[in-house]
A and B are shown apart, each in its own frame.
Chain A
Amino acid sequence: MSGPPPIAESLVVLENVSRFYGEVLGVNRVTLSIPPGITSLVGPNGSGKTTLMNLMTGLVRPTRGKVRVLGITPAEPEKLFRLLGYSTQFDSYPKGLTGYQFLYSFLRLFGMGHSECDQLAWKAIERVNMREAANRKVAAYSKGMRQRIKLAQAIAHDPRVLVLDEPLNGLDPLVRAETIALFREFAAQGRHVIVSSHILHEVDMISDQVILLSNGYVVAEGKIQSVRSEIREHPMQVLIRCNRPGALASKVFEQDHVVEAKVHADGGGVLIKTRDADRFYRMLNQIALNGIEIESVAPADDNVNSVYEYLIGGEESTK
């Protein structure tokens, strides 16, 4: 039985990658190691998300640096593209084809035979719940259907790495939930699902890790919580629900690491800003022993939105 693959062969690696379009910066000095799971690229328009995706998929060669997808470089397209499934941000399909023809003909480009392509095309169509519309022309599809058929073409050849540019745009809530479930299923099988998005709460909900981009630079990467904990200059916010919020506020404010304690608008809790989360949580144990009944403790700003705001500040904001 063969052992697990070497670590580099299970990562999408970018080493000091820069890409310029003439004098226009795409991305600059990007170094990333993306493990399996759902990874979100977050950033405003023009931050370099699509360029980064094009670099990962080998569609754009870096001006400097190296890209390796599961140990394979873009110089080996025959191997690389069998591992990769890509869905572009824009409506992207040849004119005049039905949903089925679209999937079937693009599977044929992988060199598979007729019966395999037919089988895989229908399987992918089923996975995105498009069977009834499969024989209609793609041009007549709604925005949501076009998103789903694009996703189907990306997953049809059963890739190990899925790179999806804004895949949830235009989907209704039900289909959105189904699509997220599909991403999770792929991730649970040890595959990479790399998505770009500017809808931050969605990213927060689905991602194992995030990569935050601004003006072509990676400004932070990792799990949302670890990225948040690295931003020392911004106090961490914690919402504590308890029976005596006023008493709790006055107690915690005595601590030097607490910079703000504010009774919540509904009067049922306190919003506390602290510079030292570890000391704060130790102190909270003491308080709990001193007669204040604590119902819940929840971080209030370890989501992508807050992290992004802290990192990018007033320079720019996501849509």
Chain B
Amino acid sequence: MAVYKRTYKGYAGALTAAWSRFLILPRYSYARLFQSKFLIMFLMACFFYPLGCAGFIYLSHNLSFLKTFNIQAGRLLDIDARFFVAFCTVQGALAYLLTALVGPSLVSPDLANNALPLYFCRPFSRAEYVAGKMSVLLFLLSLITWIPGLILFVIQASLAGWEWTTANLWIAGSIFVGLAVWIMVLSLIALAMSAWVKWKIAAGALIMGVFFAGAGFGAAINAVMRTKSGTLIDLTQVIATVWSKLFRFDPTTGISVTDAWISLGVTCAICLWLLARRVRAFEVVK
């Protein structure tokens, strides 16, 4: 055996915290995403409704405006739980469209380019990879959902006064929890679909399809079986049920809140299972 001089000395410098390493992944994802003018325009369009809501809240508290147009205070739409549910519904739908635009470009290019072994032959786990990729969506979706939702709440609270704020503080919690659950479900579905379909356009179509197919099959099951259980696979109805409870309304979807939470849990579990099957360092060639 050859005799080698052991002149090698490895890196001995400082290291960043292990928990923060997943944040490396979004670094270039955003740069790549924002190269698309369509995406930038869509993202800007997502702020129109929150801006309109902010204007409405301001005007509904502006007495001189109300006098000018001879509108009695209280005749405009109330700023209450229903107002914020409407906000969640509109922004939740936009979040769904944004997910279909952004989601496919997250995992599928890495799979198509065989890049996964590169990530996992470093001190970087599969969970950190998924967290890193998911953080891209979570940030963008938060930007158009619960963040403007809470800003609207703060605007309303500052104009309506302390009494309204204390009586409606739970609405802020509902906005955050309701939309956080929705964007979590959307992100997991997008990542799972992106991990299973290498072609971006097909992955985008599949993300849309999950919701349309769920709604279609759900309605078909309800019609054929004369039941309401089919609604459990219609995620838009499921999240509407959860939001109803959070915003203290009676659900009109025909399914119980517990069943809705179970349905969301099962959806997330299936997505995680799909990700675990696909996000790994090697492909089995049979």
Interface residues of A (CB under 8 A from B): 4, 21-22, 24, 35-37, 54, 57-60, 77-78, 81-84, 86, 88, 90-97, 101, 105-106, 108-113, 116, 120, 153, 157-160, 187-191, 208
Is the beta-carbon distance between B16 and A113 smaller than 8 angstroms? yes
Is the beta-carbon distance between B121 and A86 smaller than 8 angstroms? yes
Is the beta-carbon distance between A109 and B7 smaller than 8 angstroms? no
Q: Can you pick out 13 interface pairs between chain A and chain B where the beta carbons lie within 8 Å of each other?
A: A54-B117, A54-B281, A59-B120, A59-B282, A82-B123, A108-B16, A108-B21, A112-B16, A116-B13, A153-B118, A158-B10, A159-B10, A189-B5
A109 to B109, CA, bound (A): 19
Highest count of chain B CB atoms <10 Å: which of A54, A60, A106, A120 = A106
Q: With a CB–CB cut-off of 8 A, which chain A residues contact B125?
A: 77
Q: A86-B121, A189-B4 known; A157 and B114 CB under 8 Å? A: no
Counting CB contacts under 8 A, is B248 at the interface? no
Is the beta-carbon distance between B8 and A88 smaller than 8 angstroms? no
A290 to chain B, nearest CB (A): 38
A90 to B282, CA, bound (A): 11
Is the beta-carbon distance between B286 and A82 smaller than 8 angstroms? no
Closest to B120 in A: A59
Interface residues on B, range: 35 or more
B147 to chain A, nearest CB (A): 27
Q: With a CB–CB cut-off of 8 A, which chain A residues contact B14?
A: 113
A78 to B21, CA, bound (A): 12
Interface residues of B (CB under 8 A from A): 1-2, 4-8, 10-11, 13-18, 21, 24, 27-28, 32, 109-110, 112-115, 117-125, 281-282, 284, 286
A191 to B7, CA, bound (A): 9
Is the beta-carbon distance between A88 and B284 smaller than 8 angstroms? no
Is the beta-carbon distance between A93 and B118 smaller than 8 angstroms? yes
A83 to B9, CA, bound (A): 11
Q: A106-B122, A110-B123 known; A160 and B8 CB under 8 Å? A: yes
B134 to chain A, nearest CB (A): 16
Q: With a CB–CB cut-off of 8 A, which chain A residues contact B13?
A: 112-113, 116
Q: With a CB–CB cut-off of 8 A, which chain B residues contact A191?
A: 8
A12 to chain B, nearest CB (A): 14
Is the beta-carbon distance between A94 and B110 smaller than 8 angstroms? yes
A135 to chain B, nearest CB (A): 14
Q: With a CB–CB cut-off of 8 A, which chain B residues contact A189?
A: 4-8
Highest count of chain A CB atoms <10 Å: which of B8, B17, B27 = B8
A172 to B21, CA, bound (A): 37
Is the beta-carbon distance between B1 and A95 smaller than 8 angstroms? no
Is the beta-carbon distance between B121 and A81 smaller than 8 angstroms? yes
**Secondary structure of the B contact surface, majority rule:** loop
Is the beta-carbon distance between A109 and B10 smaller than 8 angstroms? no
Is the beta-carbon distance between B113 and A95 smaller than 8 angstroms? yes
Given A82-B10, A88-B117, A94-B28, 7 other A-B contacts at CB below 8 A?
A37-B4, A59-B120, A86-B121, A93-B115, A95-B110, A108-B24, A189-B5
A88 to B113, CA, bound (A): 11
Q: A59-B282, A157-B11 known; A36 and B123 CB under 8 Å? A: no
Q: With a CB–CB cut-off of 8 A, which chain A residues contact B124?
A: 81, 109
B11 contacts which of A82, A90, A92, A190 (Cβ < 8 Å)?
A82
Is the beta-carbon distance between B32 and A109 smaller than 8 angstroms? no
Q: With a CB–CB cut-off of 8 A, which chain A residues contact B122?
A: 81, 106, 109-110
Q: A22-B284, A109-B124, A113-B16 known; A190 and B8 CB under 8 Å? A: yes
Is the beta-carbon distance between A57 and B1 smaller than 8 angstroms? no
B144 to chain A, nearest CB (A): 24
Closest to A21 in B: B284
Q: With a CB–CB cut-off of 8 A, which chain A residues contact B113?
A: 91-95
Top 8 closest pairs, chain A to chain B, by CB: A111-B15, A59-B281, A190-B4, A95-B109, A190-B6, A86-B121, A92-B114, A21-B284
A25 to chain B, nearest CB (A): 11
B108 to chain A, nearest CB (A): 9
Is the beta-carbon distance between A21 and B286 smaller than 8 angstroms? yes
Is the beta-carbon distance between B18 and A78 smaller than 8 angstroms? yes
Closest to B129 in A: A109
Is the beta-carbon distance between B110 and A83 smaller than 8 angstroms? no
A88 contacts which of B1, B24, B118 (Cβ < 8 Å)?
B118
Is the beta-carbon distance between A90 and B119 smaller than 8 angstroms? no
Q: With a CB–CB cut-off of 8 A, which chain B residues contact A187?
A: 2, 4
Q: With a CB–CB cut-off of 8 A, which chain B residues contact A22?
A: 284, 286
Is the beta-carbon distance between A84 and B121 smaller than 8 angstroms? yes
Is the beta-carbon distance between A60 and B11 smaller than 8 angstroms? no
A188 to B110, CA, bound (A): 35
B105 to chain A, nearest CB (A): 8
A83 to B122, CA, bound (A): 10
Q: With a CB–CB cut-off of 8 A, which chain A residues contact B32?
A: 95-96
Q: A82-B123, A112-B11, A160-B8 known; A54 and B282 CB under 8 Å? A: yes
A157 to B4, CA, bound (A): 21
Is the beta-carbon distance between B117 and A86 smaller than 8 angstroms? yes
Q: A21-B284, A59-B281, A190-B6 known; A111 and B120 CB under 8 Å? A: no
Q: With a CB–CB cut-off of 8 A, which chain A residues contact B109?
A: 94-96
A106 to B118, CA, bound (A): 8
Is the beta-carbon distance between A88 and B114 smaller than 8 angstroms? yes
Highest count of chain A CB atoms <10 Å: which of B11, B21, B120 = B11
Highest count of chain A CB atoms <10 Å: which of B2, B16, B21, B125 = B2
A191 to B124, CA, bound (A): 23
